[in-house]
Chain A
């Protein structure tokens, strides 16, 4: 079983719609959770981080964490073509040991 699982996609949504990206993780001891965006040929950049159960909102982005279900999600409201990228879910288990999912490719169609 992989440490972090994501649907590889591609996930296609029309411009202005909500994009929903999902991630599950295997280790209940995981403490912090991150969503990175990676444009083709570029390095990953942080979009959101979340530590506690529930929702965390930042602009058009909402991260959701459910530790009981070992589930993390990222919602992107009012999706824009510039949001088209691969989104990586990352889990920090302990002492900066990060595990990354394989990424979900998002296509936002104008």
Chain B
């Protein structure tokens, strides 16, 4: 399976600040996905990060709030900008199984738990 490392694993942030989450994958992948999991909720796709092109955002998520970088095929960052307490959540980086197995599954990083005061 894919080995996905996320940093930071957790952080406590002040309202109005921004935080960048890093995601490193152990192999080259075409697409990387960023999900949000709010307390007690399921996973919601924020955006798909494609190398060499702009990220594709889902309804309800905008680039100004969640800018994404994808400088190469193994790395991506998600920034949560101008944070408010409503942004307190777990942010998960994921990749699909292409190149690892034929299951079609998603592999997930350990997640970054953000608390905004």
Contacts and interface: CB of A to CB of B under 8 A. Distances in A.
Interface of A: 32, 34, 41-46, 49, 51, 88, 90, 92, 96-98, 100-103
Nearest to A43: B108
Contacts of B111: 42-43
Interface residues of B, number: 19
B59 interface: no
A19 B43 CA distance: 23
B106 interface: yes
B60 interface: no
Given A44-B43, A102-B42, A49 B109 contact: no
Nearest to B43: A100
A89 to B, nearest CB: 9
Given A96-B96, A101-B42, A43 B110 contact: yes
A88 B105 CA distance: 13
B105 A100 contact: no
